């Protein structure tokens, strides 16, 4: 299997785990993003987010307005289909700040609230 087909299979696996039919644009959830970066935020408004991040800068900070609790955060590079990082964090304020893991012109973040 060539590189492009393998990347598409990995990306398809990621996309199949998102309930796209429940998601709609929610730009108000993004409270801050470094200059020069852009993002598109999809969410069900409760416990699932998918963020397309453009011109990501490693170690830059992104802030989201999210309910308190535990969140599983998965970072993907859609160009390669590889997952860059996955972590589960607990936050107890309305604003969640976290660092972007990689320099990339295009990143995808999948966030899901967990019990």
Domain definitions of the chain by residue range: 3-105
What would the two tokens of residue 43 be?
A: 């969410």
The one-digit pLDDT tens for each residue of the chain (115 residues) are: 676 777 677 667 777 778 888 999 999 999 999 889 999 999 998 999 999 999 988 899 999 998 899 999 999 888 777 888 999 999 898 888 888 988 888 899 999 999 8
Which pLDDT score, from 0 to 100, does residue 13 have?
72
User: Phi and psi dihedrals of 5, rounded to 5?
Assistant: -65, -40
Which pLDDT score, from 0 to 100, does residue 23 have?
92
Which pLDDT score, from 0 to 100, does residue 7 have?
65
pTM of the entire structure?
0.84
Q: How far is it, in rounded angstroms, from Cα 14 to Cα 18? A: 7
Q: Are strands 48-56 and 104-114 parallel, antiparallel or unpaired?
A: antiparallel
Nearest to 99 by CA among 57, 44, 41: 57
């Amino acid at each position: 299997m060539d590189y492009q087909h393998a990347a598409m299979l990995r990306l398809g696996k990621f996309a199949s785990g998102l309930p796209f039919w429940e998601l709609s644009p929610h730009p108000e959830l993004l409270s801050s993003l470094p200059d020069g970066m852009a993002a598109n935020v999809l969410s069900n408004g409760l416990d699932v987010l998918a963020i397309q991040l453009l011109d990501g800068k490693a170690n830059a900070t992104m802030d989201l307005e999210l309910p308190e609790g535990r969140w599983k955060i998965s970072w993907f590079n859609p160009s390669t289909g590889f997952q860059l990082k996955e972590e589960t964090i607990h936050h107890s304020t309305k604003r969640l700040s976290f660092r972007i893991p990689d320099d990339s012109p295009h990143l995808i973040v999948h966030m899901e609230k967990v019990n």
